[in-house]
Structure 1
Amino acid sequence: MSDRVVGVGPWAGPWPDDPRYDPELLEHGDRRNVVDAYRYWSVEAIVADMDRRRPPDRQLHVAIENWAHDLNIGSVVRTANAFNVAGVHIVGRRRWNRRGAMVTDRYLHVQHHPDAESFAAWAAGERLPVVGVDNVPGSVALERRELPPRCVLLLGQESDGLTPQAQAVCDVVVHITQHGSTRSLNAGAAAAIALHAWASQHL
C-alpha cells in the first residue's frame, strides 16, 4: 500500500484575508481531489470561479439518459467536471450511482428531467442543440463533425445506448470511429472522448 498523502495539511502562518477560503480547511488541511489553485477554497467559491471562467458563447452541457441506474454515470459526471461543463442533466430516473463521481458533482450544476421530451423542451428553451453520442445507423463520425460551440452532448446507457425516444430529440447523432472487434466503447470512455473533441474545437 502507498503511504502517499493526498492534498495539503493545515495552513502554515497567518490565515489569508480572502472570503474564498474555508476556515475549516485552513485549520485541518485540504485532502480533496482539487487542483492546487483551489486548495483551501470553499465549494461555493470553487463553483463560482468555474462559472466565471466559462465563456458565455461556448457553453457545453452533458446529459445522461438514466434508465438503468448505471454506475458509469458517475464516471461521466467526473469527466464533465474535468472539462468544466455548464451543467449535467440526468434524463429519466432521478437516482443515480454517485460512487464513480467521487464527489465531483458538488462542483457542478446537476439538473433532472423526467423524460427525453422534457429534456428536449429545456434544451430548446436555452437554444442549445442536442448532440447524441451513439453508434446507431445514420450517425456521423465525431472526428468529421464540427460541434456547436453551445450544445448538449446526450449519452445513453452502457449496454443499449440511446433509446429511440432520446434519439428522436437529437439534432444530430455522432459516433466515435473504432478499429477493433468490440461493438461499443465504455460509456465513461465515450463521454471523455466526446468532451475532449468539443474542448479541442472550442477551448
Structure 2
Amino acid sequence: MHHPPSQPQPQPPSPPASRPQTSDPSAAEEVGVGPWAGPWPEGDQWDPELLEHGDRRNVVDAYRYWRHDAIVADLDARRHDFHVAVENWGHDFNIGSVIRTANAMGAAAFHIVGRRRWNRRGAMVTDRYQHEHHHPDAPALAEWARDEGLTLLGVDNLPGSVPLETFDLPRRCVLVFGQEGPGLSDPMRAACAAVLHIEQFGSTRSINAGAAAAVAMHAWVRRHVFDQRV
C-alpha cells in the first residue's frame, strides 16, 4: 500500500525544552533536548522517563519524548513497500550505514544474509526502529521473497548489469547489496531478477557500498513516492 511522505505531527501543549546553553565543551556536544519544560503532555505515546530527564536519542523532532514502541508503531503505519537486504560474510562496517539509510528512507524491513551478527555501530541505533530478518543464504532469501510476492533486485556494477537510472523499479521489491569489495556473491546474483548498477563518470571503479545503497533507495523513493506516473 502506498503511503504519502509525511512526518508524524504530535501536538504537545507546550514546546519541548531546548538544549541548555553552557560554556562547558563536553555539555555542548550533547544532542537532543533536555527535560520537558512545563506541564507534561497527555497521551500514551509519551515516555515519562524522557519527559523527566530529556531525550538524547537519534530521532526526528516529531518523535521527541515518545516511547520506543510508540515510534515503531507509528512507523509501521507509514513504511514503504521496498525491503533492503545485505550479504554479511565479512562483518562489513558498511552494513550499519545501509541500515541507517533504510530507516531514513522508510524501508519496510532489512534483511541480513549470511552471518547473523553484524557491525551495528554505523547504524547509530536506527536498527532498533526497523524490523530485522535473517536468512542463512541467498536461496533462503529468494524463497522468502517469492512467498511475499517481492522481486529481488541486486545492486552492483557487474558485467551484464543494467543502469539503475533507466530501470523501472517495481513497487514491491527487495534491494540487495553485497559487502564492500567482493560485492554480490554468485548465488545472490543468480537469485536476483536483475542486477542494477549506478552510472559513474569519474576514474574510480566503484563507489562505497553504503553510498550506493543510499542512491538506490532514494531512486525507489523518487519513483514511487514523488513520481506522479504512479
Q: Give yes or no for TM over 0.5.
A: yes
Residue 5 of structure 1 deviates from its aligned partner by 3.8
User: Match of 2:211, as an amino acid?
Assistant: A
Find the aligned partners of 2:29 and 2:136 in 1 and give their Cα distance.
Answer: 43
State the match for 2:217 in structure 1.
Answer: 195
Alignment-derived partner of residue 64 in structure 2: 39
Match in the other structure for 1:76: 98
Residue of structure 2 equivalent to 1:26: 51
- Per the TM alignment, residue 177 of structure 1 is displaced from its structure 2 partner at its CA by 0.5
Contact 2:34–2:53 (CA<8 Å) still a contact in 1?
Answer: yes
**Is residue 58–residue 125 contact of structure 2 (8 Å, CA) maintained in 1?**
no
Residues 64-73 or 2-11, more deviating: 2-11
C-alpha distance in 2 between matches for 1:13 and 1:50: 28
AA partner of residue 37 (structure 1): A
Question: 2:124 — aligned with what?
Answer: 102
Q: Aligned residues: percent identity?
A: 67
For each residue in 1:154-198, what CA deviation from the matched residue of structure 2 results, as whole angstroms up to 9, or x when unmatched? 000100100100001101110000111111110000000000100
2:95 maps to 1:63: no
Q: TM-score, normalised to structure 2's length?
A: 0.85
- Aligned residue pairs, count: 200
2:144 to 97, 107, 122: 122
The structure showing larger relative contact order (alpha-carbon pairs under 8 Å, at least 6 residues apart) is 1
1:156 maps to: 178
Q: Look up the equivalent residue of 2:61 and give its one-letter code.
A: D
**Contact 2:83–2:110 (CA under 8 A) maintained in structure 1:** yes
Structure 1 residues not aligned, in runs of 5+? none
User: Which of 129, 143, 163 in structure 2 is aligned with 1:141?
Assistant: 163
Tell me how far 1:4 sits from its aligned partner.
4.7
Higher gyration radius (CA): 2
Q: Which moved more, 1:193-202 or 1:4-13?
A: 4-13
Asked whether 1:11 is paired with 2:30, we answer no
**Matching residue's letter, 1:199:** V
Unaligned 5+ segments in structure 2 are 1-24, 226-230
Question: So what's the TM-score if we normalise by structure 1?
Answer: 0.96
What is the aligned partner in structure 2 of residue 51 from structure 1? 76
Rounded to whole Å, the distance in 1 between the matches of 2:31 and 2:119 is 24
Give the 3-state SS of the residue equivalent to 2:112 in structure 1.
strand
Which structure 1 residue ranges, 4+ long, deviate > 2 Å from structure 2? 1-5
* Letter matched to residue 27 of structure 1: E
